[in-house]
Amino acid sequence: MKFDFTPIPAVFNQKLNRFVGEVFLEGKKILVHIPNSGRLQEILTSGREVYLREGKTSGRKYQYDLVLAKMPDSLVLVDSLLPNKIAKNLLEEGIIKPFGQKIDRVVAEQRKGQSRFDFKVQIENTTGFIEVKSVTLVEGKDALFPDAPTIRGVKHLEELKALSSEHLAAVIFLICRDDAVVFKPNYKCDPRFALALKKAAVAGVKVKAYRLKISFEGVYLDREMEVVL
């Protein structure tokens, strides 16, 4: 997926709250929106080279979104809204096949039971549900999720587990950087999520991880990654 914007270089200074950061842009200190609910502690550090996207809508509180960060061995896609668009494209084009065959129809943001899932899919006469999680945390060569406890994430896994007896069900982890070689649930950060993921997998929920290649021009699929539960 090519970006529809040109990344603007800046230098990160500090995170003021969950969604607001302070950066230096052309030597001037400004506030920017951080479109990611994670902690990003090892990524958004003082002095980090980051890249911004200028907002197109009027009436915005902050003129820029922080979308990329430069780590020693990889660019990182910080914007957690883009991975769903990327996943939808990869699923529709048949580039990724979490259920082993090309999906015929992909519909975003569909409610089932008590949850709203990222995608409802159709393969011939079979219906499925997919949840997508963007991963930015890497320790060593391990991509880890989550980087902050997620009650909502646990709920989604429990719902997928319940649905898997009658429907196709999958959770896709998109690794938003290319310096990891394996995906693991983050037991240290959120043991409830890690346990729920393992139980979901045992029940038949497909657990897939795909590494993305990030550049200043866009984001592309690199390869499927090993999942270790």
Question: Which domains does the chain carry?
Answer: 8-77 (2.40.50.580), 82-227 (3.40.1350.60)
The C-alpha atoms of residue 3 and residue 82 are separated, in whole angstroms, by: 10
For residue 184, the model assigns a pLDDT of 98
DSSP state of 229: -
| Phi-psi label, residue 104: left if phi above 0, alpha if psi -120 to 50, beta otherwise | alpha
β partners of residue 10: 50
Query: What is the structure's pLDDT at 99?
Result: 97
Res 14: pLDDT: 97
Nearest-angstrom CA–CA distance, 88 and 54: 24
Tally DSSP H helices, then E strands, for the chain: 3, 15
Distance CA 110, CA 89 (A): 17
- In sequence order, the 6+-apart residues with CB closer than 8 A to the CB of 154 are 190, 192, 193, 196
pLDDT for residue 110:
85
If you write DSSP's letter for every residue of 43-80 in order, what string do you get? TS-TT-EEEEEE--STT-SSSEEEEEEEETTEEEE--T
* Other Cβ atoms closer than 10 A to 125: 6
pLDDT in single tens digits along all 229 residues of the chain = 899 999 999 999 999 998 999 999 999 999 999 999 889 999 999 999 999 999 887 778 999 999 999 999 999 999 998 999 999 999 999 999 999 999 999 999 888 877 789 999 999 999 999 999 999 999 999 999 999 999 999 999 999 999 999 999 999 999 999 999 999 999 999 999 999 999 999 999 999 999 999 999 999 999 999 999 9
Predicted pLDDT of residue 29: 97
Instruction: Determine the Cα–Cα distance for residues 167 and 59; give it in Å rounded to an integer.
Output: 42
Q: What are phi and psi of 169, to 5 degrees?
A: -150, 140
3-state DSSP call for residue 78? coil
Q: What is the DSSP letter of 163?
A: H
Indicate the helix (H) or strand (E) that contains 224. strand 219-227
Q: What's the angle, vertex CA 119, arms to CA 118 and CA 123, rounded to 5?
A: 160
